[in-house]
Amino acid sequence: MEELQTKEIDRIKTLLNAAFHGGSWHGPSVLENVKDIKPKTAGARQKGIHTIAELVYHMTTWRIFVLKKIQGEGDFDIRTEKQNWGNLKEIDEFEWETLQMELTLSHDELMSSLAEKDDSFLLEIVPGSEYDFYTLLHGIINHDLYHNGQIGILKKMAPKASKFDDESEAPSTRYFNDDFGDEY
């Protein structure tokens, strides 16, 4: 019988990285989907749906949840709406950069927390829950991609602000007024 060449946890780490960075079987990774989104699109609210910025915050929150559980914090939980989705106001360039940086940092920390783990870890029960780390690690991948699918559509739904998006607003009316003003 052929033997698997790597440990199971290593294969799960590969899946985690692929779903986040790229190289997944299913299609676009989280970062592949998010990287070309402009702040205005990230903050655009569609009726009844979280914004892309909120979804990114939410993905970070649940990565931190996994991290805390790996660190043995049985009591850690995400209880409030604010914890879950943030309390985001205007999404400008700075805020959007920060959200993306926090997401990437949470991913890096998650990966380093798994560095020393071996396969027996997968069968350990997650502190404060009834399921094991196998379920939690695959769960976070599925969670990422579920929200990534939402982001994939939401970014196409955002109002077409086109090339003026973010760098600067569309030319102000004053610009045209000035132009007209010259004629009168």
Q: How many residues bind another protein (CB under 8 A)?
A: 40
Structure tokens at 175: 């610009």
Toward another protein, which CB reaches closer, 98 or 129? 129
Query: Dihedral angle at the C-alpha atoms of 90, 159, 93, 18, nearest 10 degrees?
Result: 110
Residue 24 interacting with another protein (CB under 8 A): yes
Site string for another protein, 93-132 (x = CB under 8 A): --------------------------------------x-
Interface pick for another protein out of 53, 56, 64, 145 (rule CB under 8 A): 145
**Of the residues 61, 83, 104, 150, which one makes contact with another protein according to CB under 8 A:** 150
Query: 83 or 92: whose CB is closer to another protein?
Result: 83
In the bound state with another protein, the residue whose beta carbon lies nearer, of 19 and 56, is 19
Contacts of the segment 52-56: beta carbons below 8 A, 24+ positions apart: 52/151, 52/154, 52/155, 53/86, 53/88, 53/91, 53/95, 53/96, 53/99, 54/85, 54/86, 54/88, 55/147, 55/150, 55/151, 55/154, 56/99, 56/100, 56/103, 56/151
Options 18-26, 37-45, 78-86, 173-181: segment touching another protein (CB under 8 A): 18-26
Shortest Å distance, C-beta 117 to another protein: 16
In our burial notation (b when 16+ CB lie closer than 10 A, e otherwise), range 139-152 reads: ebbebbbebbeebb
From CA 44, how far away is CA 151, in angstroms rounded? Answer: 11
For the bound state, the minimum distance from the C-beta of residue 7 to another protein, rounded and expressed in Å, comes to 11
Q: How far is the CB of 146 from another protein (least distance, A)?
A: 4
Residue 59 near residue 143 (C-beta atoms within 8 A):
yes
Q: Which of residues 33-62 bind another protein (CB under 8 A)?
A: 46-49
Q: Which residues pair with 125 in a beta bridge?
A: 132
Note the residues at the interface with another protein (CB under 8 A): 1-5, 8, 11, 15, 19, 24-28, 46-49, 131, 134-136, 138-143, 145-154, 156-157
